[in-house]
Structure 1
């Protein structure tokens, strides 16, 4: 295993309580501050100052762009899945966690290469097995795909969209699922387990099939080969990285972080960090893209 030697620098300053969901969309970084319900962007304009695009009155876990509708998003928010207009007005497609036995919110989410939006949920109190993974099809229908997990994070996809990676952060496990053409799991295996402290959080797959994982609580990013071998560790100057985004043009890994739960001087917690890497990944896929 290699220890990555390039230092992590502040790429965009910020004091976000729970930055998450980093995605590269139309030449800019898009991400959320979950508990504040904020959607933010950072443009490469020299200053790289975060700008609020919209704000919800419920937690905002993650978004993906909507195909052919600039400024519109599909979102994992509150207790369900919504379409968002540029002014932040939600059109709810479904709220599957609205009447859960314990208070539960939506968490991380991403579109696969087939234009389907996948998002996980998590109980506020950490009740074991109360989290689920949902798939939203281009027709707007929402389906529970996996259950029995606790804090559902990730999801990330291989280039063809037929391999799904999803983390159960509370268990420290990253699962890999094979999918059929309709997006239903046909197999599931333990891909990797984080054992050296911390929990797997946001993830992305690069163009060579390697999985990059933010490790919450341990202040590192892990990189795994397609066979599940941990082949690189990237140390960070803050303990709570939350998500990772590889810039399509190459050369940069962007990492959102959080200050949630930290006390005293929090340093760079809440900023977006950047590390020089030799890797690329596609820009964020759009919901409903053909």
Structure 2
């Protein structure tokens, strides 16, 4: 297999996800260990541990005006993490769910809201939801009936949201009301016959990059849904993607593999022609 993405850093993660470009650095999470990590300048060095949550950590976004602070999809809900390690929970909506749940992927939109999905540990069909955190801290269940949501990723103007339902092998595109955050009727954007769509990001041309779990590939789709690029990496389970300028970063996972290869769980990079913006911040009122 030809390899387009090259491994970086010394670590091999159980479930590397939520990779983000923030303030000139690349951050990511290892979900089951509850760690927020930062990529070092030396590509052969270990990842740096920024903080540990003590619960599974699905994804984070920076908090505007509060250096070192994050909003996080963690445990069974959504919390604010301070630079001193302090945690303030906004909501734990999956605490009393009939299935054993945890939070999964999430991101902020260009209007300062934070969105995060939940999932059942057993991937129970229809048991999961997508939550929206408004700037006043209100947490609203925005989409129900999902199985394993990943993303979301947003257009530059925040009027379109891409959301994967991974186990179902689909990515849907939702219109977003910029003022209220209310979602319109979704349209099917891409269907996958092989592999599962996982983490996503949008580049400066409005194209969607998708990590395709189980295939060792990352795809790029133009806004009309036509695939323009397919990149390969020597890891079976690519899970998260971000653009750090014109460098694509891809996380992967070792967890669940009976015989992990030497690069399963690694972070990979490749130069690309079209750059992408840094991660949007959550902007509390």
| Range into which the TM-score falls when normalised by the shorter chain | over 0.9
Determine the structure 1 residue equivalent to 2:18.
21
Determine the structure 1 residue equivalent to 2:211.
214
Contact 2:3 2:234 in 1 (8 A): no
Determine the structure 2 residue equivalent to 1:141.
138
2:120 equivalent to 1:123: yes
In 2, Cα distance between the equivalents of 1:127 and 1:6? 34
Determine the structure 2 residue equivalent to 1:183.
181
Determine the structure 2 residue equivalent to 1:163.
160
2:272 equivalent to 1:277: yes
Which of 4, 22, 31 aligns to 1:34? It is 31
Determine the structure 2 residue equivalent to 1:234.
231
How has the CA–CA distance of structure 1 residues 160 and 265 changed in structure 2, closer, same or farther, with 3 Å as cutoff?
closer
Give, in angstroms, the shift of residue 33 of structure 1: 0.2
* Structure 1 unmatched runs, 5+: none
Q: What is the CA deviation profile of residues 76-111 of structure 1, one whole-angstrom value per residue up to 9, with x for unaligned ones?
A: 000000000123321000011111110111000100
How has the CA–CA distance of structure 1 residues 40 and 62 changed in structure 2, closer, same or farther, with 3 Å as cutoff?
same
Give, in angstroms, the shift of residue 49 of structure 1: 2.9
In 1, Cα distance between the equivalents of 2:257 and 2:208? 28
Give, in angstroms, the shift of residue 42 of structure 1: 1.0
Contact 1:240 1:257 in 2 (8 A): yes
In 2, Cα distance between the equivalents of 1:260 and 1:144? 29
Contact 2:14 2:254 in 1 (8 A): yes
Q: What is the CA deviation profile of residues 140-182 of structure 1, one whole-angstrom value per residue up to 9, with x for unaligned ones?
A: 1111110101001011000000100000001000010001121
Q: What is the CA deviation profile of residues 226-264 of structure 1, one whole-angstrom value per residue up to 9, with x for unaligned ones?
A: 01112221111111000111112x2x1110011011122
CA RMSD of aligned residues (A): 1.6
Q: What is the CA deviation profile of residues 52-82 of structure 1, one whole-angstrom value per residue up to 9, with x for unaligned ones?
A: 0111111000001111111110000000000
Contact 1:6 1:276 in 2 (8 A): no
In 2, Cα distance between the equivalents of 1:46 and 1:157? 29
Determine the structure 2 residue equivalent to 1:76.
73
Give, in angstroms, the shift of residue 45 of structure 1: 4.4
2:243 equivalent to 1:253: no
TM-score by length of 2: 0.96
2:190 equivalent to 1:192: yes
TM-score by length of 1: 0.94
In 2, Cα distance between the equivalents of 1:125 and 1:77? 17
Contact 2:10 2:47 in 1 (8 A): yes
- The 3-state SS of whatever aligns with 1:13 is coil
Determine the structure 2 residue equivalent to 1:106.
103
How has the CA–CA distance of structure 1 residues 289 and 25 changed in structure 2, closer, same or farther, with 3 Å as cutoff?
farther
2:149 equivalent to 1:152: yes
Provide the aligned length of Structure 1 versus Structure 2.
Answer: 284
Determine the structure 1 residue equivalent to 2:281.
286
- The 3-state SS of whatever aligns with 2:79 is strand
Contact 1:27 1:43 in 2 (8 A): no
Contact 1:15 1:271 in 2 (8 A): yes
Higher mean alpha-carbon deviation, 144-153 vs 85-94, is at 85-94
In 2, Cα distance between the equivalents of 1:13 and 1:220? 21
After superposition, residues 29-68 of structure 1 pair within 5 angstroms as: 29-45=26-42, 47-68=44-65
